[in-house]
Amino acid sequence: MREQAVVGGAGRHLVHASRDAARVVVGRKNRRSSAGGHIGPVAHAAFQHASAPVAVVPHD
């Protein structure tokens, strides 16, 4: 695991970092909605473009 502060879009930076990663882990708010779970734009970018497997972990 590596922590890094960057300027700019988080999704773009995660996709770039995924090139050298074994796994990308992103969090999402645990919404209790009848419409089902929704992911945000960062997790969506990671799912669509990351080079490594992506895990989305819900949190409160």
> pLDDT 10s digit of each residue in the chain, 60 long?
778 888 999 999 999 999 999 999 998 887 766 566 678 899 999 999 999 999 999 887
2 burial (CB, 10 Å; 0-12 / 13-18 / 19+) is: exposed
Beta carbons of 18 and 51 less than 8 angstroms apart: yes
